[in-house]
């Protein structure tokens, strides 16, 4: 199960500027709502104790949007990554992990999911786990490599197809308290490296695999779609037109 939810939503969405010039990418129109509203509807049935949204670009628009819609009384708090314009998702994750506690489910806000995929990640009993899609090899996605025991030994975009077990669906289970809070305790040291602020949260997770076991929740056959451009947004709407 899950205690709290984290949604990383600080980026500028520059590749979708015709939509994101006045809003964060997570507020891009999607079917009968927005990318973000779909995600919030999907997590609502699980009654998380807290939902932490890490904002940056157009955060005031995001805050007004959340106040206006009130999202089913979900306990949402918005936190500002003030360095969003010059950093990548690692610093947003650092901020999130300083706020969220317990068993977490972490989303990137520009990915849409089949509700069944979210359910599988919510109901898993693995404290540290990636979402694994074995059905495709995508150059743009993070790839996962598992050993014979089912442990994840690498997450990287650069993994060649022959070495990849599948792709990560960009949805993560992490625990801030298991293993004496190792995941949180190591993060400041990692961020102190030169140019670490330009790295992705996934780069940190890859390093953590050396000291923390991560499993995988198999979501093969379930739809998910990372949206970076307007054509991808339109394509995703067609894919998910009849998928809850």
**Length of the chain counted residue by residue:** 244
Average pLDDT over residues 167-195: 94
| Per-residue pLDDT, 174 | 98
What are the E-state strand segments in 109-151?
A: 111-113, 129-133, 143-146
Q: Residue 157 pLDDT > 80, yes or no? A: yes
Q: pLDDT grade, residue 134 (50/70/90)?
A: very high
Give the residue-averaged pLDDT of 170-179.
Answer: 95
Which of 110-114, 165-169, 194-198 comes out lowest in average pLDDT?
194-198
Can you list the domains of the chain with their CATH numbers? Answer: 4-239 (3.90.550.10)
> Average pLDDT for residues 104-121, to the nearest whole number?
98
User: What are the two backbone dihedrals, phi and then psi, of residue 97, each rounded to the nearest 5 degrees?
Assistant: -75, -15
Question: Is pTM beyond 0.85 here?
Answer: yes
What number is the average pLDDT over the span 192-212?
96
The residues near 197 (Cβ < 8 Å, ≥ 6 apart) are 83, 86, 87, 88, 90, 91, 191
Round to whole Å and give the CA distance between 172 and 27. 22
Give the pLDDT of residue 73.
87
Q: What is the mean pLDDT of residues 185-212?
A: 96
Per-residue pLDDT at 136:
83
pLDDT at 78 (0 to 100)? 97
pLDDT at 180 over 90: no
Over the stretch 30-86, which tens digit does the pLDDT of each residue have? 999 999 999 999 999 999 999 999 999 999 999 999 998 877 689 999 999 999 999
List pLDDT tens digits, range 4-31. Answer: 999 999 999 999 999 999 999 999 999 9
What's the pLDDT at 71? Answer: 76
pLDDT at 166 over 80: yes
Reply yes or no on whether the pLDDT at 130 is more than 80. yes
- What residues have CB less than 8 Å from 64, skipping those under 6 apart? none
């Amino acid at each position: 199960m899950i205690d709290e939810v984290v949604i990383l939503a600080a980026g500028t969405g520059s590749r979708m500027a015709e939509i994101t010039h006045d809003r964060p990418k997570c507020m891009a129109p999607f079917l009968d709502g927005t990318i973000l509203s779909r995600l919030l509807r999907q997590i609502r049935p699980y009654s998380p104790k807290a939902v932490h949204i890490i904002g940056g670009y157009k955060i005031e628009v995001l805050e007004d949007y959340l106040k206006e819609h009130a999202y089913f009384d979900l306990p949402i708090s918005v936190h500002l990554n003030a360095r969003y314009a010059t950093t990548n998702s690692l610093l947003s994750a650092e901020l999130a992990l300083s706020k969220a506690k317990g068993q977490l489910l972490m989303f990137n806000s520009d990915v849409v999911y089949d509700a069944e995929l979210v359910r599988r990640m919510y109901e898993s009993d693995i404290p540290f786990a990636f979402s694994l899609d074995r059905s495709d090899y995508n150059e743009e996605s993070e790839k996962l490599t598992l050993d014979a025991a089912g442990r994840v030994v690498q997450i990287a975009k650069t993994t060649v197809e022959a070495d990849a077990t599948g792709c990560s669906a960009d949805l993560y289970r992490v625990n801030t308290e298991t293993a004496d809070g190792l995941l949180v305790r190591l993060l400041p040291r990692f961020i102190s490296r030169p140019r670490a602020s330009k790295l992705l949260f996934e780069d940190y997770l890859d390093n953590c695999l050396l000291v923390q076991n991560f499993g995988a929740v198999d979501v093969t056959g379930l739809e998910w779609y990372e949206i970076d451009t307007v054509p991808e947004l339109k394509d995703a709407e067609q894919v998910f037109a009849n998928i809850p």
